[in-house]
A = this chain, B = another copy of it.
Amino acid sequence: MIPEQSASQITVSEDPLCTEPRLTSFDSSLTPVDLFFIRHHFSDVPKLDAETWTLSVEGEVENSLSISYQELLTLPQRTLPVTFECAGNSRVAMSPPVEGVFWGNGAVGNAEWTGVSLRDVLNQAGIKNTVKEIFFEGADSGEEEEQGLKFDLSYSRSLPLDKAMHPDTLLAIRMNGESITPDHGYPIRLIVPGWYGVASVKWLIKIRALDRPYQGFFQTRRYVIIKEGEDKEQPPKPLTAMPVKSLITQPRRGKVFFPGENVIQGFAWSGEAKIRRVDFSTDGGKTWVKAQLDEAPSDYAWCPWSFRWKVSKPGYYMLAARATDESSNTQPLSGVWNYRGYAINSIHMVPIEVAHHVRMPGESLPWEP
């Protein structure tokens, strides 16, 4: 079943459903639910009912638990604005092209998530000191093909214990103040701030404490960086935190500006550090000037930036934005090609045209009669 879809998003894949908004529709720092990208992994969206839903907590724990939605509501709540993107966002920029959902640049969003610290629930269960990782399973499942063989799988991922125990890692109940919609993980979604969206398991139904690293499909065969020429004997590492990145949201590529002042806008974020600055270029990255940076609403949320560009000369320009974070990480001109096209944080460029504002004396367009 394909759920109803917002007309304001582009369908990047029909089955499983994947949608992204146009970058030019990002006009405020908080992304409305109907403009938030959707990345499903299987055909069916789980139909869960908060009344009957339970979350089991099991494995290497003192007390296995089964928690109801009502119980979660009684625990202390936190609210955090969190930006995350799909690990395959901007895949369209990877050349040669790779397999995978062919995302443009819109598979990123910034929403306000409200819920219970995962730590509070894990402490209630009592984590044994043998535990290395916490495993999470969603209610979504389906078939995946690998090396010519087919497997029935549930969507599942794990976190190292320290990230799971961080107070900001949430069992989220609300998105932008409302119940989470079915497309975004109703009733409960794990939220792992600073990490790629892949970690924030939707339709969460099971937590298991493990005394060993989890080797699941979405952790060893997908959402891992495999470089060209890589040997198959080397087990790849799962993706974790998002590197520093920025996007230009205004103008869209191909826009025609006129001489005068034109406003350029965008967002910048970094999973593990605050954004220190954003630089802006009109010549494809040869020269840079500092853009105006707004304050982010939280350490995990993107910073809006803008630039008032005064241009007088008609011609063709390549706009570019480059963010730098407080750990001095910055964006590469082009990223390292990898087999599945993940973790692309190369500088976003937008080609535009500056036309004559009015016809020059004697000027006519050449195909006019």
Contacts and interface: CB of A to CB of B under 8 A. Distances in A.
Interface of A: 92-99, 104, 146-149, 151, 153, 215-217, 220-221, 226-233, 253-254, 256, 283-284, 313-318, 334, 339, 348-351, 353-356, 365-368
Chain B CB count within 10 A is highest, among A149, A283, A334, A366, for: A366
B148 A256 contact: yes
A98 B253 contact: yes
Given A92-B95, A232-B355, 9 more contacts: A93-B97, A99-B253, A229-B316, A229-B317, A229-B318, A231-B314, A232-B353, A232-B356, A339-B351
A368 B147 CA distance: 13
A148 B316 contact: no
Where chain A touches its partner, the secondary structure class is loop
B367 A217 contact: yes
A21 to B, nearest CB: 17
10 contacts: A92-B97, A96-B253, A153-B367, A220-B366, A227-B316, A228-B316, A229-B283, A232-B316, A232-B356, A339-B353
Chain B CB count within 10 A is highest, among A104, A232, A367, for: A367
A355 B147 contact: yes
B356 A147 contact: yes
8 closest Cβ contacts across the A-B interface?
A215-B366, A99-B254, A96-B349, A232-B314, A217-B367, A147-B355, A228-B318, A230-B316
Contacts of A221: 367
A153 B367 CA distance: 8
A284 B367 CA distance: 44
A96 B339 contact: no
Contacts of A151: 365, 367-368
A95 B349 CA distance: 9
A315 B230 CA distance: 6
A285 to B, nearest CB: 10
A366 B354 CA distance: 55
B366 A98 contact: no
Contact of A231 (B256, B284, B315): B315
A339 B368 contact: no
Contact of A316 (B153, B226, B256, B348): B226
Chain B CB count within 10 A is highest, among A97, A104, A230, A354, for: A97
A356 B104 CA distance: 33
A148 B355 contact: yes
Contacts of A354: 232
Contacts of A230: 315-316
A353 to B, nearest CB: 8
A365 B355 CA distance: 58
A238 B232 CA distance: 48
A361 B122 CA distance: 39
B315 A232 contact: yes
A318 B284 contact: no
Contacts of A217: 366-367
Contacts of A313: 231
Contact of A228 (B95, B97, B231, B284): B284
B367 A216 contact: yes
A148 B366 CA distance: 15
B315 A351 contact: no
A231 B153 CA distance: 55
Chain B CB count within 10 A is highest, among A216, A354, A355, for: A355
Nearest to A360: B233
A328 B227 CA distance: 32
